[in-house]
């Protein structure tokens, strides 16, 4: 029957017959305003239920809408406000409406498919949303940092304190052992890249030259940092397969849907924001107090050549704060942004610009970002809407050098073995240090180690520049529009393209380069060029049917999606460079390397949603996709989904609505690029003839995506007449067909084989509570709390237990172990076996016991105070920075007496090295004041007296990461030496020091 209706509609359309929306016999007029402020609600939409009749509120808040005869139901909506449903009698022709702000997001429309959405009050999945206001409160380098602590079920942590540094995002626990760990990012319908490309600093630090051959120790940035947070209208987070199944094998780690701001009808509106701030050290490690009575005692204690201490002008009782000397800067940072929007019913526009400069606390470090955006909406007649989105971005970063290294380069690797008795700062004119005689402007060599960190940071160059363009076009065509039927065709095409250039220079005059102590070559120049391109093409059809009775609405959607991802990275490593030259050809030892990756994905989807009596929602659908990452790249893999919710209108003064929901969904996790190929080395030279050499891994012929199956159930409640909202969800996720490697017999000619096998699961709970105790013209108060916890376990493992690659440095230093029957994130290490030897045992887990957040937003007249606390309970960290300081006898608490052994506590700890790692396993519990903002809304009369066209003015003071309460003795309990990966976090090895930021802001609207 439905297909016959569609056919008849198409016949009428193309035969030139107009399908009448409804018989309009009278006109209703009125005004729509904000209930609290009385301001006109320009852009609000009015709908006549059970018809397609609609109207938009004009700039002065007035409206006029033609309605059928008799009593009608009128629905009024505006983004950020509660829906307003009212019955208009047959004899009433005027109606004024007051809209209440939807501070609890009760009536927002949430995505349920690639082209469909449903109001949150009927939503059958647990989907989190973050509004523009929540994102913009306190400046941060990256969008992820601005949603920390605001989403239940999200574990978002910064990998280090480096400017623009990388951020790890994890939803509902670990999703894989060896596959992709970061979520999928979709901006205005376009899948964009969040790849983290190493800078090639490893060529100097040799971090991968030790027991862990990983290039992910370069402290790289994940590229979602390029996006301007001020452009964001809303963020929707699909945390599990039951919601993310619409993206198939690309959605294993969740999906973050970002919608950018668009223009609204009316006069042009200009918004300007200017912020000034400073960054400051949040914490220090400290040094062992030194007490020497003479210079010769120093030389004898540290085995220095006689007279060394005197040459550095050692003075008894004088020590130097080498951490302050390394990070002395509190330079002024700033963020300037502006936007303009407006248009009419046919053409709307939004344009914005950003110029951001974050100064690092170390010399030669910082992060800059510039962004230009233009969004256009153009109506082509009554039925076709075209949306264009363009965003040009430029980011540049200097992150210095930090994290693990094996060359004595990283500052806190060096400080571990450098007592604070000598001044290592730059030599000045008339410097009292004899070693500085006649060498003003240079740095003295560090007599204790291979390098002087102050010299390294001052003279090295670590520039990273990225130019990026994200562009998309969307077309919506209302092919059929009638009282009962609506057929809409949608097409989206987009491209995300960026070029990343890394130029690193370590000049030959650096101490560690000049001594040729690491590789025998003096001076290093590194050049990397990376090009990334994502192409998206999506086509969808959405058919909605509403019977005359209005009892239910059926929405059928289907479509096709095609994406490609290209990555091409070329690296030039030059050593033994010419002094004063940075060109990579000005060297005697030049090496070239190139990495190329291309992946294609093709998917199909079909979904059916039925909403009955505005209470019962039933959803079912599937995605079928294929990817070139599979061995059989033409095979289709099916990912089904189903969900249901039922909302009861209780109507009491305490409990207004109660909704029960359940959902099931499947998604995948694609094999990493190249896993299906047997690698070859093409640099073999045999008698002058080039050749190939087969390397270790071989792949089975049926490598396919990992399969995730998740079932979730929950309840949502609206309480106290819409002043409180409760969401609670429990879930069980099972991941099968894990991508693993197994050892092969040497006689095979190969070392390992990549294959699918094994199974793991994750169980967890997410909950969120929002409460608005007071919402009046003078006072507003909004509280939010989130809670989440999860546990993982390896169910079956077809290979012996193993230590995953890039997840530690061996059991002597603490590592991760994948073992049947155990947590996926367990930490293992050497411990005494009770008989004088050692054994490998579980010593911790990187997964927290639970996470909670608490936020308050309090307004009184023009004043507003908002703050956010983020609490992590449990989780363990392998504090290898402390082990390094103990090995150098330089830990701040070294001389404190251990009550059990009677030895100095530092000596006691290091004496257990290799036999008992537990002394370096620490609790990662913390409570952080993530955000604090105090603002004042200037009186409109005062603003208009200065500029009559002004709409608002606001002054604000804000800060990020201002306070941390923790027993962890490292710099910060948020740390990851190996960057973004599911297994292998919480390993602390000489990271970039943590910072806090303070900001003063001015916001103006015209």
pLDDT mean by block of 10 residues, the chain; 1006 residues: 42 40 72 84 82 79 87 84 86 88 79 81 88 87 89 88 84 86 89 90 81 65 90 89 81 89 88 96 92 93 93 94 92 95 91 96 94 96 92 95 90 95 94 92 94 95 95 93 88 96 94 82 93 95 88 93 94 92 91 90 94 93 90 88 93 89 92 78 73 73 90 93 92 94 80 89 96 87 95 95 86 93 95 91 95 95 94 96 95 90 89 93 96 94 84 94 95 87 88 94 93
CA atoms lying within 13 Å on the CB side of residue 391 = 31
Token pair 């027991």 is found at: 211
| Residues near 590 by beta carbon (within 8 Å), at least 6 away in sequence | 572, 573, 574, 575, 584
Give strand pairing partners of 476. 385, 490
Cα distance between residue 861 and residue 865, in whole Å: 11
Tokens of 184: 């999928």
The helix (run of H) or strand (run of E) holding residue 1003 is strand 995-1005
Give strand pairing partners of 667. 708
DSSP 8-state code for residue 88: E
Sheet arrangement for strand 752-756: 697-699, 752-756, 739-743
Task: Give the Cβ contact number of residue 499 at 10 Å.
Answer: 14
Are 309 and 452 in contact, with CB atoms under 8 Å apart?
A: no
Give strand pairing partners of 645. 617, 661
Cα distance between residue 994 and residue 145, in whole Å: 14
Tokens of 93: 């022709």
Are 348 and 263 in contact, with CB atoms under 8 Å apart?
A: yes
Tokens of 388: 């264009």
Are 665 and 245 in contact, with CB atoms under 8 Å apart?
A: yes
Helices (DSSP H) in 337-492: which residue ranges?
411-415, 453-459
Are 617 and 605 in contact, with CB atoms under 8 Å apart?
A: no
Sign of CA dihedral 19, 22, 26, 27: negative
**What pLDDT, on a 0 to 100 scale, did the predictor assign at position 5?**
41
């Amino acid at each position: 029957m439905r297909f016959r209706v569609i056919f008849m509609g198409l016949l009428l359309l193309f035969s030139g017959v107009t399908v009448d929306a409804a018989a309009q016999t009278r006109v209703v007029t009125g005004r729509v305003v904000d209930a609290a402020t009385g301001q006109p609600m320009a852009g609000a939409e009015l709908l006549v239920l059970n018809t397609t009749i609609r109207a938009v509120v004009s700039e002065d808040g007035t409206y006029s809408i033609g309605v059928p005869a008799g009593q009608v139901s009128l629905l009024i909506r505006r983004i950020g406000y509660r829906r307003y449903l009212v019955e208009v009698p047959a004899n009433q022709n005027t109606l004024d409406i007051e809209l209440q702000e939807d501070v609890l997001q009760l009536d927002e429309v949430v995505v349920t498919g690639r082209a469909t959405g449903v109001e949150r009050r009927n939503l059958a999945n647990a989907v989190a949303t973050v509004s523009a206001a929540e994102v913009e409160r306190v400046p941060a380098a990256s969008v992820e940092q601005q949603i920390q602590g605001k989403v239940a079920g999200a574990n978002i942590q910064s990998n280090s304190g480096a400017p623009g540094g990388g951020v790890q995002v994890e939803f509902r626990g670990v999703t894989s052992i060896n596959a992709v760990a970061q979520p999928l990012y979709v901006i205005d319908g376009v899948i964009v890249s969040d790849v983290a490309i190493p800078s090639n600093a490893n060529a100097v630090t040799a971090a991968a030259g030790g027991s862990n051959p990983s290039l992910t120790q370069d402290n790289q940035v994940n590229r979602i940092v390029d996006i301007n947070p001020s452009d964001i209208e809303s963020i929707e987070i699909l945390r599990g397969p039951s919601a993310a199944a619409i993206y198939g094998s690309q959605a294993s780690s969740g999906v973050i849907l970002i919608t950018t701001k668009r223009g609204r009808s009316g006069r042009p509106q200009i918004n300007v924001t200017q912020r000034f701030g400073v960054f400051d050290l949040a914490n220090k490690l400290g040094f062992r107090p030194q007490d020497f009575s003479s210079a010769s005692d120093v030389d004898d204690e540290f085995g220095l050549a006689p007279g060394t201490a005197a040459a550095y002008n050692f003075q008894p009782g004088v020590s130097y704060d080498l951490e302050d000397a390394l990070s002395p800067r509190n330079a002024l940072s700033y963020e300037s942004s502006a936007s303009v929007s407006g248009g009419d019913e046919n053409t709307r526009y939004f344009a914005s610009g950003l110029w951001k400069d974050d100064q690092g606390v170390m010399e030669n470090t910082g992060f800059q970002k510039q962004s230009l955006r233009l969004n256009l909406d153009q109506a082509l007649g009554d039925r076709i809407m075209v949306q264009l989105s363009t965003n040009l971005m430029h980011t540049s970063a200097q992150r210095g050098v930090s994290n693990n290294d094996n060359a004595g380069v990283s500052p806190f690797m060096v400080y571990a073995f450098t007592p604070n008795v000598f001044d290592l700062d730059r030599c000045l004119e008339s410097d009292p240090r004899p070693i500085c005689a006649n060498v003003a402007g240079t740095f003295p060599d560090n007599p204790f180690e291979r390098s002087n960190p102050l010299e390294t940071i001052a003279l090295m160059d670590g520039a990273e520049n990225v130019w990026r363009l994200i562009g998309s076009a969307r077309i919506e065509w209302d092919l059929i529009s009638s009282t009962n039927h609506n057929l809409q065709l949608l097409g989206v095409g987009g491209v995300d393209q960026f070029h990343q250039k890394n130029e690193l220079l370590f000049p030959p005059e650096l101490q560690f380069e000049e001594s040729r102590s690491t590789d025998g070559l003096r001076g290093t120049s590194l050049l990397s060029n990376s090009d990334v391109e994502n192409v998206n093409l999506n086509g969808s059809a959405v058919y909605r049917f509403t019977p005359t009775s209005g009892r239910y609405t059926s929405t059928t959607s289907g479509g096709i999606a095609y994406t490609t991802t290209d990555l091409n990275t070329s690296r030039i490593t030059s050593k033994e460079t010419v002094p004063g030259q940075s060109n990579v050809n000005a060297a005697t030892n030049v090496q070239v390397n190139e990495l190329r990756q291309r992946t294609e994905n093709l998917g199909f989807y079909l979904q059916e949603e039925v909403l009955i009596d505005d209470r019962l929602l039933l959803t079912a659908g599937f995605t079928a996709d294929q990817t070139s990452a599979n061995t059989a790249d033409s095979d289709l893999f099916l990912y089904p989904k189903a969900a249901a919710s039922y909302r009861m209108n209780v109507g009491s003064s305490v409990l207004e609505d109660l909704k029960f929901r359940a959902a099931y969904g499947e998604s995948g996790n694609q094999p990493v690029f190249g896993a299906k190929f047997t690698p070859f080395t093409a640099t073999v030279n045999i008698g002058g003839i080039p050749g190939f050499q087969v390397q270790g891994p071989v792949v089975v012929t049926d490598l396919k995506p990992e399969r995730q199956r998740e079932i979730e159930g929950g309840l949502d409640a609206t309480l106290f007449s819409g002043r409180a909202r409760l969401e609670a969800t429990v879930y069980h996720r099972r991941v099968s067909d894990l991508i693993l490697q197994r050892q092969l017999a040497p006689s095979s000619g190969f070392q390992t084989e990549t294959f699918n096998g094994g199974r793991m699961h994750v169980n967890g709970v997410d909950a969120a509570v929002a409460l608005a105790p007071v919402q009046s013209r003078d006072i507003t108060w909004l509280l939010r709390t989130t809670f989440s916890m999860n546990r993982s376990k390896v169910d079956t493992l077809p290979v012996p237990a193993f230590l995953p690659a890039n997840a530690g440095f061996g059991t002597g230093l603490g590592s991760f172990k994948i073992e049947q029957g155990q947590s996926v994130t367990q930490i293992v290490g050497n411990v005494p076996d009770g008989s004088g030897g050692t054994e490998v045992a579980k010593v911790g887990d990187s997964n927290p016991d639970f996470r909670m957040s608490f936020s308050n937003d309090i307004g009184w007249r023009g004043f507003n105070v908002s703050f956010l606390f983020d609490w992590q309970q449990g989780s363990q960290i392998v504090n290898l920075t402390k082990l390094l300081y103990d090995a150098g006898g330089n830990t701040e608490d070294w001389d404190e007496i251990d009550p059990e052994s009677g030895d100095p506590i530092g000596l006691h700890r290091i004496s257990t090295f290799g036999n008992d790692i537990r002394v370096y396993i620490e609790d990662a519990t913390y409570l952080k004041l993530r955000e604090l903002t105090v603002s004042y809304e200037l009186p409109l009369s005062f603003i208009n007296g200065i500029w009559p066209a002004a709409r608002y003015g606001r002054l604000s003071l804000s800060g990020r990461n201002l306070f941390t309460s923790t027993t962890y003795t490292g710099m910060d309990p948020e740390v990851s030496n190996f960057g973004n990966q599911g297994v292998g976090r919480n390993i602390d090895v000489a990271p970039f020091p943590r910072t806090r930021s303070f900001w003063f802001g001015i916001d103006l609207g015209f």
